[in-house]
Amino acid sequence: MPEIFMQESATNVLQAAHHIDRISEIMKDGLLMLDDQNNIITANEAALRDILGVSSWDEIRGKKFTDLSIGGDEVESITASFALHQDFRDKRISYIHSSGQIRILLCSVLHTKDAASKTATKLVLLHDLTREESASEKLSEYTRKLEKKNNELDQFAYIVSHDLKAPLRAISNLAGWLEEDLGPSLSGDNKNNLQLLRNRVVRMEALINGVLEYSKIGRTQIEQEHVDVYTLLKEVEEMLAPPAAITIKIIEPVPTVIAPRTMLLQVFANLISNAIKYNDKPQGLVQIYCTSKDKYFEFVVEDNGPGIPPESYETIFVIFHTLQSRDKFESTGIGLTIVKRILEENGGRIWVESEPGKGSKFKFLWPKQS
């Protein structure tokens, strides 16, 4: 063999050994090397500092691996594997750290033999599971607490629904009976006041329903399905029954999306309902169309209504906020908040582009993949 080739081979071996040493030093897992008598002959920094909890190599010099503070039954199992020269992976062992804390480790062993010297060694890899298991336990605890809070919230929602709606219905009924009993003797103002009272009751009931609906978003699992958006929009149009002065125009093509159908229907129903309700033109026009945007579909609900001032672009999505007086338009101020929450829960978002007097464009993104 040429001398220059032997020099290059020796250099390559030295470089490889250096790289292996460097890799072992930056490893987060502990790495030990044992001789054929199971004595620890080398260890990386992670094994010394993090796994075993010793400050220097001298504290474990000359010790056998099975002399470390490992559980009794586990020591016997590992010793048996060593005697049979069996490799193993991810054997779960408990170890008492120098701090007194019990650590849970995954232990893997590989038996090796040097071809030249015939010397047998073992490589022992130790992965600390303690933090992972602690995090898993905490996550389970948080999950249990969250489930408990959700159950409490469901009970609260039932109480709100039952205990608040019942007196509201009673007030509405009493107003109706008063109107029937007093009949012609009621003056115009009194009739208006009774009607105003009943309208307030209807608004309060709608408000309660809106709050309950808002509280459920994200807490209940709703099945995803393929939704033909054109068919969905025709259903919304039929449900809203717009007045003759309002034209709803669906501009095709409109895609089929993967979505919880009822939630997507609720999004369109709220946006189109608002476009109808607040339209101030003799001939109102609501247009719905869609464009493809990389990973999303961008839907637009456009109207030729009064428009929205720029300072209100964000506040209209805040719960209970309305631009118009509630005496002028019956509104709970929850609809757009629910729309925003539904979209965010499903990986989308919503915003508005508008100019006062020139209508509004409500745009929202819906992911192409669920």
Handedness of CA 251, 256, 261, 264 (dihedral sign): negative
Residue after which a domain boundary falls, among 153, 185, 216: 216
Handedness of CA 222, 228, 229, 231 (dihedral sign): negative
- Specify whether 251 is located in the same domain as 311: yes
Say which CATH number the domain at 261 has: 3.30.565.10
- Specify whether 158 is located in the same domain as 211: yes
Give the closest residue to 309 by CA, choosing from 355, 350, 278: 355
Q: Are 20 and 114 in contact (CB under 8 A)?
A: no
Q: Which residues contact 276 (CB under 8 A, 6 or more apart)?
A: 240, 242, 243, 246, 284, 286
Q: To 5 degrees, how large is the angle CA 276–CA 359–CA 342? A: 60
Give the closest residue to 223 by CA, choosing from 256, 269, 259, 266: 259
CB-based burial label for 328 (10 Å; 0-12, 13-18, 19+) = exposed
- Specify whether 152 is located in the same domain as 117: no
Q: What dihedral angle (degrees, nearest 10) is formed by the CA atoms of 66, 71, 72, 73?
A: -110
Parallel/antiparallel/unpaired status of strands 284-293 and 349-354: unpaired
- Specify whether 252 is located in the same domain as 322: yes
* Torsion angles phi and psi, residue 296, rounded to 5: -130, 160
**Count of beta carbons in the 10 Å neighbourhood of residue 345:** 14
Residue after which a domain boundary falls, among 163, 194, 216: 216
Quick one: pLDDT at residue 13? 39
Q: Which residue reads 């009993």 in tokens? A: 181
- Specify whether 63 is located in the same domain as 82: yes
Q: Cis peptide before 243, with omega less than 30 degrees from 0?
A: no
Q: What is the tally of structural domains in the chain?
A: 3
**Whole-number Å distance between alpha carbons of 111 and 30:** 17
Q: Which residue reads 């005496």 in tokens? A: 327
pLDDT in tens, the chain (370 residues): 444 434 444 444 344 444 455 666 667 788 888 888 888 888 888 878 777 778 777 788 778 877 776 665 677 777 777 777 788 888 888 777 777 777 788 888 888 887 666 778 888 888 888 777 666 677 777 778 777 777 776 676 667 666 677 777 788 788 888 777 777 777 777 777 777 777 777 767 766 766 666 666 666 667 888 999 999 999 889 888 889 999 999 999 999 999 888 889 889 988 999 999 889 899 999 999 999 988 999 999 999 999 998 888 888 888 656 655 544 545 556 788 888 988 998 899 999 999 888 899 999 999 998 6
Q: Which residue reads 């056998």 in tokens? A: 64
- Specify whether 276 is located in the same domain as 241: yes
Q: Which residue reads 């029954």 in tokens? A: 241
**Whole-number Å distance between alpha carbons of 82 and 341:** 59
